[in-house]
Amino acid sequence: MLNKWRKQLRASGYVAVCVLMGVIGALLVISWASALQTPGVEIGPDHTQQAYVGDTILYHHTLTNTGTTTDTFTLEVRSTRGWPVELVGATQPAGTLSLQVAGQMTAAVQISLTVPSGTVGLTDTTLVTATSQLSPTVQDFATNRTTVVYRRTFFPFVPKRWPPVPYLSALNSIDNTDGDGFYTVSWIPGELAETHVLEEDDNASFTSPAIAYDGPGTSWSVPSPGKSPGTYYYRVRGHNQWGYGMYSNVQAVTVLPFRVAQTSLPAGQCTTLSWDFTGIKALHVVFGYGYDKEPVNGQGSRQVCPSVSTTYKAIVTRLDNTEVTYQVTVNVSGTGCGDPIIRYFVPTTYSVRAGEKFSISWNLECARAAWLTIGSGAEQAVEGVGSRIDVTIYSTTTFRLKVEKRSGGFVYASFTVQVK
């Protein structure tokens, strides 16, 4: 009986250890995941201002994502005296706004406060709260203190804000989903601005800015021939007869060197694959599902008509002979035939002894015809699905599949079997 109880105690102890190890493992995973996404937020500055009854005041703040990854922040505003207040541009209830900001980037925030009647001599504190949606415990605050004074009319008139340079403008997010060199930058103008100056640079610190636009408009589009691949940063500020306002928040946009015009298509419909590489040694592109890579010039484009969801690749050989691969995927819905699909074209082994038997097989779809070539032998017409068994070779041999498109032209797949 004693031995029985000892066994039960040992089993219970084993289970407890396993449970404890599982809890520790889960905590480690949670800690690791949290380390990858470290949220942080700052919002400011604080303001103190006098106002008159009936005034509507715009307070300008800057929200900074101090975290390491893109985060969405919930902004809330509240008047301690219940005066009418809202976040400018909010599509949600007037007191809340969701704002997505990339890591280490900024966004402009404007608060509108209306001073109601019967408030002379009172002071209101408007509290603006920014909360991370990645981690709701991460918050920051900004305050706006507004004191209501008697309105007095006297001459000469001395404005409350001197010199009356433009208020802060707000740069909108830049949409360049397809990654091409043509996009539009737009902004919300600050009050008192008569014209706007949009600056562009290749770094977020704007160490060498160039003026992209200077005029009365509130948007600018990239002119022909478009931007070269790279990441571009933008900021804007207003201008009037008194001078320049403060710079807006910064927005970035990336132009990809390898891109596709449409990333979603019905089966068999076509889109354009394009690329733009300079200062390279060689470039090869994989133009379809299961195809061999094909050498091309550094700049070019080609129409592709995927029959199934397909990932296209650009393999760049740099001048120092290192390689880097870019890729884009077109997601295909429905069924239908466009470009041929080479589901597979493989041997049972890639290394044999001279005269040793092995087999090869293939599976094609949406092809008009296909031919198999073994080494330097003649082309042999083959069906879309097939195989060759008991193949023997006596030297390293390349096997090649030539596939005819239904729209004309050919694509290829190949592999090489080494002889030991």
Domain shared by 358 and 263, yes or no: no
Domain shared by 248 and 262, yes or no: no
Quickly count: other Cβ atoms within 10 Å of residue 412's Cβ: 15
Q: In this structure, is residue 6 part of a structural domain?
A: no
pLDDT at 30 over 90: no
Among 255, 279, 310, which residue terminates a domain?
Answer: 255
Residues pairing with 264 in the sheet: 331
pLDDT at 2 over 50: no
Domain shared by 57 and 122, yes or no: yes
Q: In this structure, is residue 405 part of a structural domain?
A: yes
Q: In this structure, is residue 327 part of a structural domain?
A: yes
Give me the mean pLDDT over the 130-148 stretch: 92
Domain shared by 226 and 263, yes or no: no
CATH number of the domain to which 216 belongs:
2.60.40.10
pLDDT at 17 over 50: no
The pLDDT, as a whole number, for residue 93 is: 62
Domain shared by 292 and 349, yes or no: no
Residues pairing with 140 in the sheet: 130
Q: Which range of residues forms the domain containing residue 209? A: 170-255
pLDDT at 69 over 50: yes
The pLDDT, as a whole number, for residue 152 is: 56
Secondary structure of residue 5 in the 3-state scheme? helix
pLDDT at 159 over 50: yes
**How many structural domains are present in the chain?**
4
Q: How many CA atoms lie within 13 A of 128 on its CB side?
A: 30
Q: Give per-residue burial for 190-208: e unless 16+ CB within 10 Å, then b.
A: bebbeebbbbbbeeeebee
Give me the mean pLDDT over the 254-276 stretch: 94
Q: In this structure, is residue 24 part of a structural domain?
A: no
Domain shared by 346 and 319, yes or no: no
Give me the mean pLDDT over the 187-208 stretch: 95
Q: In this structure, is residue 14 part of a structural domain?
A: no
Domain shared by 174 and 112, yes or no: no
Among 224, 255, 286, which residue terminates a domain?
Answer: 255
User: What's the chain's average pLDDT?
Assistant: 88
21 phi, psi to nearest 5 deg: -65, -40
Among 270, 299, 333, which residue terminates a domain?
Answer: 333
Distance in angstroms (rounded) separating the CA atoms of residues 110 and 88: 5
Give me the mean pLDDT over the 202-228 stretch: 94
Give me the mean pLDDT over the 244-273 stretch: 94
Higher pLDDT, 151 or 215: 215
